[in-house]
Structure 1
Amino acid sequence: MNQPLYTQAFLTLVDTTASLLAHNIGVTKANISLLLTPLEKDGWITRSNHTQDGRKSVISITGEGQLTS
């Protein structure tokens, strides 16, 4: 899979929430999930539970995701 253009914006953010990422790249919260799913499937990001707020996920770039930049 070729790297989507918006992935560059993701690579500048470390351990962020989906809501903050959506705000930073100018998409709705509903659309961010659609953007993150293929990146997670390809191993470029991970989603983990937020330690303080169970409703949120923390988005992290994987080693493979860093190599694509």
Structure 2
Amino acid sequence: MNENGVTYITRDGDCLDNICWRHYGRSSGMVELVLEANHGLAEKGAIYCENIAIFLPEVITKPISDNVINIWD
């Protein structure tokens, strides 16, 4: 996992799937990634109180395919 990322400070009533949606543009797969990067976060429940620091790791995406065919070749 990449150690680059940002720290998000929660506001009262935040939930992780919404935080991931706003930061990454999706929650699927990102919630699990953030939970993995933040030991003990799952024990805090689904709705957070304010001032919890959550590390949001940088996600490096790989190209969909390494085998690109150009129609002009």
Give the TM-score taking structure 1 as reference length: 0.42
Instruction: Select the structure that is richer in helix.
Output: 1
